[in-house]
Amino acid sequence: MATFEERLVALRMAAGVSQQTIGDMLGVTRWSVHNYEVGKNRPDYNGLLALADYFDVSLDYLVGRSDHRAVIR
């Protein structure tokens, strides 16, 4: 299974959005998003929820615990 870092990069690229766009959505800098993508830092709980919602994937998928993207609501 992919790691959080790999999933974040893949989701961002597939959506065609920049690190700056993700940073603006999360209220962090582009450098923070870069650090998430290279494994230097991780977003907090609210950031993880916001990313999962933004990309419409489950938290388990986002953090690499599952290969099932679907959100069960």
Mean pLDDT (the chain) is: 96
Q: Which has more pLDDT, 1 or 64?
A: 64
- Cβ–Cβ < 8 Å for 1, 64: yes
Run of H or E residues at 51:
helix 45-55
Residue 62 has a CB neighbour count (10 Å cut-off) of 23
Read off the DSSP letter of residue 57. Answer: -
Cα 70 from Cα 73, distance rounded (Å)? 9
Interval 33-61 mean pLDDT: 97
Residue 54 confidence (pLDDT) above 80: yes
Is the domain spanning 4-62 CATH 1.10.3720.10? The answer is: no
What is the chain's alpha carbon radius of gyration, rounded to the nearest angstrom? 11
pLDDT for residue 69: 93
Tell me what the mean pLDDT of segment 20-45 comes to: 98
Residue 73's pLDDT is 74
